[in-house]
Amino acid sequence: MVRVGQRTEAGDTFEIEILDQAPLERIAKIGIMPLPPYIRADLSDQSRYQTVYANRAASAAAPTAGLHFTPELITALEQKGVHLERVELVVGLATFKPVTALNPTDHAIHTEQYVVPEGLLQKCADARRVIAVGTTSARALESAATTGVLSGRTGLFITRGYEWKVVDLLLTNFHMPRTSLLLMVDALIGPRWRTLYQEALNSDYRFLSFGDAMLLDRHLS
């Protein structure tokens, strides 16, 4: 049995309660993979839209910066002394909701569930630098550091003027205009993102989920 509830933050979807004893099996049987609105074709190989380090079904979208990582790349990084840690932020459908407010800070930001392991913030404080893989990792880390709460739902809206507490560098793909993700990039490096995006356009970089990535350093002027 399925019960349809209220509209979600995304506005065009509903909360669905599956009353079966094995709801994930029902979803796997009748559901299809949620994809961003700009991906119009079904994926014959659904692993293409999944990170190699994912370990449970939860998010409505892949943290696409992580799609660049393979097991071989992760091993190579560890062999070079890079210390890798895992955080979780469950991406909701509202992540695709465009910013329509005249003043972007008036945008009704979506909330997402996150988990930061005990002791990780101290490890970050002791590290020479912290590189977040994707805006999801960045939001999870900054939410925990800002609130002091290591897990729960975050409504943290990172826009220009935000005081960064953990993340030094951000590995991220090129985002859609008028999104909270692009506002986060602007908060990290300021207006120079426009120069980077123009260079990407001039050089035929690939944008969005299956596109290229860039490494942004907030300490550069």
Model confidence pLDDT, tens digit, residues 10-59 = 555 667 777 767 777 777 777 777 777 777 777 777 788 889 998 888 88
The answer to whether 102 and 141 have CB atoms below 8 angstroms apart is no
- Assigned domain for 166 exists: yes
Give me the mean pLDDT over the 164-168 stretch: 98
* 165 compared with 61, residue with greater pLDDT: 165
Place of tokens 């071989």: 72
Q: To which H or E segment does residue 189 belong?
A: helix 180-189
Confidence (pLDDT) at 214 = 96
- Assigned domain for 113 exists: yes
* 159 compared with 93, residue with greater pLDDT: 159
The secondary structure of 9-55 as a DSSP string is TTSS-EEEEE-SSSHHHHHHHH------TT--S--SSGGGGS-TT--
DSSP state of 80: T
Give me the mean pLDDT over the 126-143 stretch: 97
Confidence (pLDDT) at 61 = 82
Confidence (pLDDT) at 19 = 73
pLDDT tier at 155 (50, 70, 90 boundaries)? Answer: very high
* 92 compared with 86, residue with greater pLDDT: 86
Confidence (pLDDT) at 123 = 98
CATH number for the domain harbouring residue 184: 3.40.1780.10
Confidence (pLDDT) at 142 = 98
- Assigned domain for 12 exists: no
d(Cα 50, Cα 167) in Å, to the nearest integer? 24
- Assigned domain for 56 exists: yes
d(Cα 207, Cα 177) in Å, to the nearest integer? 11
Average pLDDT along the chain: 89
- Assigned domain for 118 exists: yes
**For residue 94, is pLDDT > 90?**
no
**For residue 166, is pLDDT > 90?**
yes
Phi, psi angles (nearest 5°) of residue 188: -80, -45
- Assigned domain for 88 exists: yes
pLDDT tens readout for residues 187-219? 999 999 999 999 999 999 999 888 999 999 999
Confidence (pLDDT) at 67 = 94
Give me the number of domains the chain comprises.
1
The secondary structure of 114-181 as a DSSP string is EE--TTHHHHHHHSS--EEEHHHHHHHHHHHHHHS-SEEEE-----TT---SS-SEEEEEPPPSSSHH
The answer for residues whose C-beta is within 8 angstroms of residue 72's C-beta and 6 or more apart is none
- Assigned domain for 41 exists: no
- Assigned domain for 84 exists: yes
Domain enclosing residue 85, as ranges: 51-217
pLDDT tens readout for residues 105-127? 898 888 999 999 999 999 999 99
Identify the bridge partners of residue 7 per DSSP, sorted by sequence position.
14
The answer to whether 92 and 155 have CB atoms below 8 angstroms apart is no
d(Cα 104, Cα 156) in Å, to the nearest integer? 14
The answer to whether 51 and 66 have CB atoms below 8 angstroms apart is yes
The first and second tokens of residue 123, run together, are 């490890």
Q: Model-level pTM?
A: 0.87
